[in-house]
Amino acid sequence: MRVRFAPSPTGYLHVGGARTALFNWLLARQAGGQFILRIEDTDVARSTEESMEAILVGMRWLGLTWDEGPDVGGPHAPYVQSERGALYREHAERLIASGHAYPCFCTKEELDALREQAAARNEIFRYPGTYRDFDPAEARRRREAGEPHVIRFKTPGEGVTVVEDLVHGTVTFQNAGLDDFVLLKNDGGPTYNFACVVDDALMEITHVLRGDDHLSNTPKQMMIYEALGYALPRFGHIPMILGQDRSRLSKRHGATSVMAYDEDGYLAHGLRNYLARLGWAHGDDEVFSMEDLIAKFSVEGINDTAAVFDPTKLKWLNGVWMRQTPADEMVDWCRQRWAERGWLGARHTADWQVGVVKLLQERTQTLLELVEASAFCFETPELVTLPESATKFLTAAAAPALESLRERLAALEEWTPEAIEAVFRGLAAEREVKLAAIIQPARVALTGSHVSPGMFETAYLIGRELVVTRLEAAIARIASPV
């Protein structure tokens, strides 16, 4: 099995493209086949090196490595269409020689006039075959003289083309609906349908999974395959992704760059898992590791109806992966954001940073949420800006307990979560109060909120010096409320 992902480098790797790449990658990996990356830059005006690099970066981040491609090479190089022009011209000449294609010398002005006439008749414009039966010798003379022209494919004009689609089943197209479409443009560049066929055939692609917006291109491509004498691949067309309002997915629905999700603190595990479930199912399972996906993925599991992009579900699923991912695999992302905020200092060792991630990963759904929630580990909370928590828990009745807590923690010989817990429990027992009566005022004093991770681990990470300082500030606030 040989499959490919063939993006156009006209922008970033978006959600729909990433899902297509993932489905192809899984198909190849499950079968022990080859996954090929090909860059289709026939849109010369919009294609850029920056976009190509952005696509490669996005795929690497998702873990979708390729066996052949523009940066790794392979037996069918080059893997960038703009470098394969000679192959397209050679195949176009083969089709002309076999009578399946012909030069068309219609000018833009002539075609525009025909379009206007069709529009005036309320008809869809179809090229009328002006040069379909033109004298081959005269056509050759005009080409050799340098007259501008395109190369058109000679469609049957009758009968049907049947696509046995891996997702949609049997789909029948009437050939009468196709005009003689262009293979090579007048600048010598290939059209999408032509380049796609030549490349897939020469790269020995056996299965083509792509968006169902390409389904209407398939009969044209099948005709080219047959005219060139190449074996057809198996085609499968994946339904599009819709926004929650059932309209085509756009930026307002969350269809941003794959790497924008990285910037927002989503894990590659989480986004990859969610993309796999967009239009594919394996029973009622929701959470899949990469190994699970490779083992369980099948084309038969792809739905033949559109999938709906749900940001809430993506976030939930990312939260699942936040809890399952080792903290040391997430700390680099957090470290960069802590540094950008100017929070990191000498006491914030690598092990300490991992400890912060461990403390908060169970309570957050993205790394960005984790970074924002970790602010109290670095900066002293402004208690005056938290009147609700402060008024409720930082009371005159709590002051003696906080003072005792401050003294005992300041004198604690061993600064460990276990030793800190013993101080809290001992103080609660002495004062004959519930543990919460000690923990809640301390939590507000240390974190600025009455909700936080475990108090003992939190105090340990904040560190003795800051714990004592923050308790003193809380006691002072009680004495002199704002």
Supply the residues annotated as catalytic.
251
Q: Which residues contact 260 (CB under 8 A, 6 or more apart)?
A: 12
Residue 36 main-chain phi, psi, to 5 deg: -110, 135
Q: Chain-centre distance of CA 472, in angstroms?
A: 48
Dmax (CA) of the chain: 108
Cα–Cα distance measured from residue 248 to residue 52, given in angstroms and rounded to the nearest whole number: 24
Integer Cα distance of 230 and 434 in angstroms: 80
- Helix/strand/coil for 6: coil
Q: Tokens standing for 374?
A: 């970790």
| Beta-bridge partners for 73 | 69
d(CA 218, CA 232): 11
According to DSSP, residue 173 is labeled E
Q: Please state, in angstroms and rounded to a whole number, the distance separating the CA atoms of residues 340 and 442.
A: 29
Between CA 433 and CA 398 the distance in angstroms is 11
Instruction: Tell me 230's DSSP state.
Output: P
DSSP per residue, 23-49:
HHHHHHHHHT-EEEE-B----TTT--H
Give the contacts of 358 (CB within 8 A, at least 6 positions apart): 327
Residue 120: CB atoms within 10 A of its CB come to 8
